[in-house]
Amino acid sequence: MVHWTTEEKASIASAWKHIDLEHDGGDALARLLFVYPWTQRYFSTFGNLSNPSTNAKVQAHGKRVLAALDNAAHHLDSLKATLHDLSDIHANKLHVDPENFRRFGEVFIVVLATKLKTAFTPPVHAAIEKFFAVSVDALNHEYHH
């Protein structure tokens, strides 16, 4: 089990208050699809991905991804259990390359840093990096069974 300090929990909660579930997940997913274009193969049913920022299905799926991460951010002490079902689906049904979880974390951190500006302090950055590292580890869990 991961140990979260009071400061890390406070930093995550503080940063998370600024997240707009309706838009930020879509922005991050669109960024992922643009920066790592080979990830588009997982979204072949989403239609035209030449401009993922304007694709309604990208925006909707990004919102779902961020909602799952929002749930995880509110259950830091049980991340593996919280993300178990998603890990199972992505590993055993969708066969998503687990490296893409890390990539999504990277692009989401860019979205968050852009949004928070000076409030994205080194302690906040460190806590968010840890949150994504632990979340990625939890999402990768079913890949090892």
Q: Where are the domains of the chain?
A: 6-144
Q: State yes or no: pLDDT of 129 exceeds 90.
A: yes
Tell me the mean pLDDT in the region 45-67: 95
Average pLDDT over residues 110-114: 97
What pLDDT was estimated at residue 90? 73
Residues in the chain, total: 145
Residue 144 has pLDDT above 70, yes or no: no
Confidence (pLDDT) at 143: 66
Stretch among 4-8, 29-33, 132-136 having the lowest mean pLDDT? 132-136
Burial (CB < 10 A; 0-12, 13-18, 19+), residue 87, is buried
Q: Which residues contact 124 (CB under 8 A, 6 or more apart)?
A: 11, 14, 15, 116
**How far is CA 100 from its chain centroid?**
10
Question: CB 9: neighbour CB atoms within 10 A?
Answer: 15
Assigned token pair, 58 = 């990208």
User: What is the fold, at CATH topology level, of the domain defined by 6-144?
Assistant: Globin-like (1.10.490)
Asked if residue 47 has pLDDT above 90, the reply is yes
- Where would I find the H helices in the chain? 6-16, 24-35, 56-73, 79-82, 84-88, 99-116, 122-140
Cα→Cα distances 101→23, 27, 121, Å:
19, 15, 23
Can you give the pLDDT at residue 5? 98
Q: Which tens digits make up the pLDDT trace of 57-93?
A: 999 999 999 999 999 999 999 888 887 888 778 767 7
